[in-house]
Amino acid sequence: MTKISMKIRAAGLAAASSLALSGCLLSPGAFTSELQLMQDGSFSYSYDGEIQMLALSKLAEMGNKAEEFEAECYDDNFEERECTLAEVNEQRAEWDANASARAAEEREEAEQMKAFLGGIDPSNPEAAQELAAKLSRQRGWDEVTYKGDGLFDVDFRISGRMTHDFAFPVIEKMPMGNMFVTVVLRDQAQVRVDAPGFAAQGGGNPMQGMMAGMAGLAQMSEKGDGEDIGKMVVPEGTFTIVTDGRILANNTDEGPVANARGQALVWEISPRTEQAPTALIAFE
């Protein structure tokens, strides 16, 4: 493995740790999603497509590969050069002396990640199936199929009355910080809809932008040493809001279009999407 490849892996691991500590563990891939909000107080939401859990992807394996010792030396112009035998021995001695501290840090990070995953150990080969089983027990998760690399194919559908706020996804015992869609009830019979998880670049969701950057690092590493470290997904699909209420504001390109149940707002999501979908709807 080249030094450049090791640095890329280390950078990816650092980004992964940052995302984990922020609670940003999930990312949508290819998907179709629809939210219906109606005057009679009913609502329904569906999400059919991919969801990737960062902690279960092959990036989680970067840590072990990045912990291989390799001496690094630089000249007066900060250009990388070959190390002398004495420099290699000195750096190796320092590396070995810090082995216990590194091991303790890895154990602490493993426990933190396990806590974020609601008690699921991401290093366990059965972790993905355990998570799929947990989701299948929750209302709305009609199908959950694990595809590898932390990627799940899901069919989520739920309906009810607009008597409370709504957010997707919610996973039992798992603290979440990166909702794909939120529906918030306001006074004066208004509903605010935001879909921060459906923006891949900075203007919509900074955390999604970080994950897109990590995907780029993964591709660079694969090209650098021929190793496949797994697929990382970015949002790509369609998000639609159907309503017979009065649309007060939205950031679609085309505005409302006619629909059999009233009007529809449609967002085409791609890796180039900068602004997260948002709408404000009023009901009589």
What are the tens digits of pLDDT across the range 187-212? 989 999 999 999 865 444 444 544 44
Residue 114 in any domain: the answer is no
Q: Is the pLDDT of residue 260 over 70?
A: yes
More confidently predicted of 213 and 56? 56
Residue by residue, DSSP assigns 143-183 as EEEEEETTEEEEEEEEEEESSS-EEE---TT------SEEE
30 in Cβ contact with 237 (< 8 Å): yes
What are the tens digits of pLDDT across the range 216-247? 444 444 444 544 445 678 899 999 999 999 99
Q: What is the pTM of this model?
A: 0.74
pLDDT of residue 224: 47
Residue 135 in any domain: the answer is yes
At what angle are helices 206-225 and 3-22 packed, to 10 degrees?
160
Show contacts of 137-146: CB within 8 Å, 24+ apart: 137/172, 138/170, 138/171, 138/172
267-284: average pLDDT: 93
pLDDT of residue 50: 96
Residue 140 in any domain: the answer is yes
pLDDT of residue 148: 86
Residue 115 in any domain: the answer is no
Domain range for 238 is: 24-57+120-282
Residue 65 in any domain: the answer is no
What are the tens digits of pLDDT across the range 114-168? 776 777 777 777 888 888 998 999 999 999 999 988 899 999 999 999 999 999 9
Q: In the chain, how many domains are there?
A: 1
Residue 91 in any domain: the answer is no
pLDDT of residue 283: 95
CA angle (52, 199, 146) in 5-degree steps:
15
More confidently predicted of 179 and 173? 179
Residue 144 in any domain: the answer is yes
Nearest to 279 by CA among 269, 265, 260: 265
Residue type, 101: A
What are the tens digits of pLDDT across the range 98-113? 999 988 887 787 777 7
Residue 240 in any domain: the answer is yes
